[in-house]
Amino acid sequence: MHLLVSYIRQWYFPVFTVIATVIYGMQQLGFTLTAILQNYTNDFLCMPIVFYVCQYVVRFIKSDDHVQLPISLLFVVTLLYSWYFEWYLPLCHNRYTADPIDVVLYFAGMLFFYGIEYRRSARFD
């Protein structure tokens, strides 16, 4: 189990980033994508990518490779992303639509990040 979590921890950020970038690029170029790819995949990938970058910056600034973002911060940031993209922007711009499934996917992405990054110190190191 430790090996699997270690492998996922090593590769999820570059893989998620490439997948999100390819989907976004295909959308911009007008490719027809399946509904799941078009509407939901990047919502799940968003929070792990954002939190990975934030954690990397904090670790760099503090010169400590073991610093972890507090779970309360993960929750509040995910809540703010959900509010901003699923409530505020749909009120202000026609391009955006509110979708409760997106909120669930933001929180699922947060839980993925938590499960991969936080389990390390509690169970494996």
- The residue extents of the domains of the chain are 2-124
Q: List pLDDT tens digits, range 85-117.
A: 999 999 999 988 999 999 999 999 999 999 999
The pTM score is 0.89
Cα 15 from Cα 113, distance rounded (Å): 14
Residue type, position 18, single letter: V
Residues in the chain: 125
Q: List pLDDT tens digits, range 10-21.
A: 999 999 999 999
Please give the share of the chain, as a percent, with pLDDT higher than 90.
82
